[in-house]
Chains A and B, each alone.
Chain A
């Protein structure tokens, strides 16, 4: 954890997250809206306005989660890699700093889903032999950056193994 460069995710990740979450929110709105339209709430009279109000409240929370949270989350997300330790920082309300010794790497995965591909982004997953926190995801990396990071991690892990084997 020495003074190495603190790196951020690709800004495109915010747009990616917004897109995915907006799609989910739209589907949710449509489905609950259609169901609500046909639902009879007259037995609640004169309190039947409560139901659409709750619906609107949920929707506004949904808008917040879909449009505002990704930007906040992006600002808190950072990672740092040196020859010995990988460090991930994230979280808005529940903040976490994960520190993984490079020598504990089991393997590194790159994921590129259909929506991610459209944005030219890749997520990188680090696997350790652990149990509760056996895999760690770094989302929203630009394709080349992700590939470079993967090679960097594997190089660092190999170097560590060689040092240990010889020394």
Chain B
């Protein structure tokens, strides 16, 4: 599924932009060479615009001619799975009409219009982008204000030697400029213009002086990457689903062959097609069918368990492969305040991000990652208001790294961060009891429900009671917070353990909250609000703090925050 990581990005972007830049070009003459892929220079022909008084008009360039077909083709490729699924429900023609009318044709039209209307030029310290069909828009982006440059190259882009460039500034959450389909050279020129201004290090360039200008470099090796794939969330989900199925099968028995209908169809088909002696078709392995062995073998003869295992192994393989393909050759470099990353085997991504802009950092060590001794680092930058789904991973700083490396990357991203595993301050142990009670209540409700539908099968919920307690106990053991004058650290979770780090200067407000039950137990929660929440989930919230501690901590945090200036 994630072999096409653009799946979600592409349609959203294309839907949003037409409104934002429903745009111009009354005076654009049709380019006769459009569609000619090789003649990249043809797009950079000079256009005379008497109304604009800027002296360097002659450098104006347009998008690559492949703008006309490439994004639309890409959208088509990315929506092929939903298209096929939809055609099962509404038939191929209905599906074709739906996707054609509402997705493909709009994207095609949008990009044709964009190709005809967008023009940009680099003038000194800024890039000037003109767009718009009806209402013209001219946007000037000074290079030293660019917070993030992203270069995207999908397989299609790479075949024809092109790229997509996104520029973002602190002012807006959405991209300030998305120039889809530029030649690689043009993209490089843009990138270099920014880096010349900002001293960004390009992690992909093989220059000798890259090492000189970069203060820190990290490259992800293949072994770590594969381990990272094995310990990723997708794989964990597959494992959890398998164990749930196995548990239910053991408890409920062979009757719950969840794949029986599907597998019987396959069986019928294969029986009809396989030639050979009659006895082949009805061959059954001679296995004991009584006693404990018989009970165990009943799963195998029923084929459900092997089928489940096969499915899971296949799923694991695909998930790991997708992970490796996505993050292949991951590199991170830092020069001064700029972090730059690059990765990707098929779709190549390159991004730069200013360290100043980082609002919060999250070091993720899930249970499986801890077994492998790995961790991931995510950061949030100012202006990220919308929660993005995990697949998008825009500001993931390091997808996976050995713990020591991940901690070093965290230190590189937040200057002054030296302690990531302090002696944690604990919350009130009442948390275990409270959490368990809540969990038990849910399990009890589920149990009663099951009793009405399945009688004594409701007993299968029994192991959930100690499990809920264990979960809460483990959660409590891993929960902790720590604060110094410069930053606040909060560690949370057991299965998905994460350490949040919020520099004090980024704290926007601290909120002390107490509900009715909290008051009875003399507890309170403390939430910290920060300027970004897309990737880390926002500022941390510490629950079940004793009231006095909470008041004290709130005062400390706010006083320290008040003492330093917030800068974007």
Binding site for B on A (CB under 8 A): 1, 84-85, 91, 93-104, 128-134, 136, 160-161, 164
Contacts and interface: CB of A to CB of B under 8 A. Distances in A.
A120 B563 CA distance: 36
A100 B562 CA distance: 8
B414 interface: no
A131 B509 contact: no
By Cβ-Cβ distance, the 8 closest A-B pairs, closest first, are A130-B508, A101-B562, A130-B529, A97-B512, A84-B562, A99-B558, A128-B508, A100-B509
A132 B538 contact: yes
A157 B519 CA distance: 34
Contact of B509 (A93, A104, A164): A104
Contacts of B511: 96-99, 133
Interface of B: 382, 385, 507-516, 519, 527, 529-533, 538-539, 551, 554-555, 557-559, 561-566, 568
B508 A129 contact: yes
A94 B514 CA distance: 6
| Max count, chain A CB within 10 A of own CB: residue among B509, B519, B568 | B509
B385 A104 contact: no
A99 B515 contact: no
A131 B385 contact: yes
A70 B529 CA distance: 28
Given A1-B559, A101-B558, A101-B562, A130 B515 contact: no
B555 A1 contact: yes
Given A95-B513, A129-B382, A130-B530, A85 B558 contact: yes
| Max count, chain B CB within 10 A of own CB: residue among A96, A97, A129, A131 | A131
Given A99-B509, A128-B508, A132-B529, 5 more contacts: A85-B559, A101-B561, A103-B562, A128-B509, A136-B509
A129 B566 contact: yes
| Max count, chain A CB within 10 A of own CB: residue among B529, B533, B538, B565 | B529
B385 A98 contact: no
A165 to B, nearest CB: 8
A103 B563 CA distance: 8
18 contacts: A84-B559, A84-B562, A85-B559, A94-B513, A96-B513, A97-B511, A98-B511, A98-B512, A99-B509, A99-B511, A99-B554, A101-B509, A103-B566, A104-B507, A128-B529, A130-B508, A133-B509, A133-B511
B533 A99 contact: no
Contacts of A160: 562, 565
Contacts of B554: 97, 99
Nearest to A95: B514
B562 A96 contact: no
Contacts of A101: 507, 509, 558, 561-562
A121 to B, nearest CB: 24
Contact of A131 (B507, B516, B530, B566): B530
B510 A131 contact: no
A75 to B, nearest CB: 16
Contacts of A100: 508-509, 558
Contact of A96 (B512, B539, B559, B566): B512
